Structure 1
């Protein structure tokens, strides 16, 4: 009986073992689009939700971002070039299981995609005590790297950011005073990775 039941489930659209979804997203579809999506889902023997997930994954390989590449101009000034990269291609650099880490990766790599509220939050983080004391003076060296976002991330104290993440969000939302943000400790003065920037501007 169990074998027959399994075979019957496999015949139905979207059949097969169910997988657990960690995120539920509610979307609104215009009736015509929903109907056509259901037709396409049937053609692929998928559930509508499985079809939507597949369609999103396909779209990620087509939507392009502008990745910043650090360069040094002829006059010695640091600057950027840009190259096109798809969201799918940059997925590993953008994803992290921690919300705070994901935000920093997005903000550092694609600040132009931030909402106003996110810009306020990023400014708080950027000007906070979570960076070594000489971070601002080394920023010029950071952007000389081909991958300045990664170099910037290497200087941030992610453990402290995760610890105070809810506080940063509350201050950015105007729900707490900025005095609640973490203070700089005496051990926050070194930045060895950025020191190496002046030795090799093209170091990955």
Structure 2
């Protein structure tokens, strides 16, 4: 690991693999009663019905509002679910930060800023002819994410301890010394297609 911290070994890079998580939901009496009736009608438990209802609602929540021109259409959470979800915490975070930075919490914005400052993602980042920031997803998936998973625990611990910039500095140093990912990066030649497929940030 490029940047070790005394507590980092206790925080692995992988995501939680539990089948489901318990969430406490408060319903007013009317909503609770109607939910019970709906659950009976579908022969479900109330908790199963609520889980189903939440999943169904994803098709009605627009996560991206397109311009309506040249295929730039609205996107719902249901449509983008496969792109946003990953069992690994680190990869899931980067996917959200790249695609929908406006949805990051304040703490997540700090984490993203530190990650960018560390240059860990730099091999996959490019600027298009129009000046926008784009990302090579093949490089992210094959080259960056494996390295990020190894560093994720230490990154979070350093940030929690108020040592974010120290982590960024140590990571930049480790990258230069070839201790983070392979010394020879993949080709970063940007094709003309990349300019139309970039994701603005």
Tell me the TM-score normalised to structure 2 length.
0.68
Q: Distance in 1 between matches of 2:129 and 2:155?
A: 27
SS of 2:166 mapped into structure 1 = helix
8 Å CA contact 1:95–1:102 kept in 2: the answer is: yes
Of the candidates 127, 134, 147, which is equivalent to residue 139 of structure 1?
A: 127
8 Å CA contact 1:130–1:157 kept in 2: the answer is: yes
Partner of 2:159: 172
Q: Distance in 2 between matches of 1:129 and 1:123?
A: 10
CA spacing shift, 1:84–1:93, aligned 2, 3 Å: same
Deviations 1:7-46 (A, max 9, x none): xxxxxxxxxxxxx943222222233322221121111111
Of the candidates 70, 93, 96, which is equivalent to residue 106 of structure 1?
A: 96
Structure number with greater CO (CA < 8 Å, separation at least 6) is: 2
Partner of 2:29: 31
Matching of residues 113-152 of structure 1 within 5 Å: 113-132=103-122, 138-140=126-128, 148=134, 151=136
Aligned residue-pair number? 168
Deviations 1:64-115 (A, max 9, x none): 111789xxxxxxxxxxx95311111111111111011111111110001111
Q: Distance in 2 between matches of 1:112 and 1:153?
A: 24
**Structure with max Cα Rg:** 1
Partner of 1:158: 145
Tell me the TM-score normalised to structure 1 length.
0.67
Partner of 1:7: none
Q: Distance in 2 between matches of 1:67 and 1:188?
A: 40
8 Å CA contact 2:66–2:75 kept in 1: the answer is: no
Partner of 2:8: none
Task: Supply the RMSD in Å over aligned alpha carbons.
Answer: 3.3
Question: Any stretches of 5+ residues in structure 2 without a counterpart?
Answer: 1-17
CA spacing shift, 1:102–1:67, aligned 2, 3 Å: farther
Partner of 2:49: 51
Q: Distance in 2 between matches of 1:64 and 1:84?
A: 7
Partner of 1:12: none
Q: Distance in 1 between matches of 2:148 and 2:19?
A: 28
Matching of residues 12-23 of structure 1 within 5 Å: 21-23=19-21
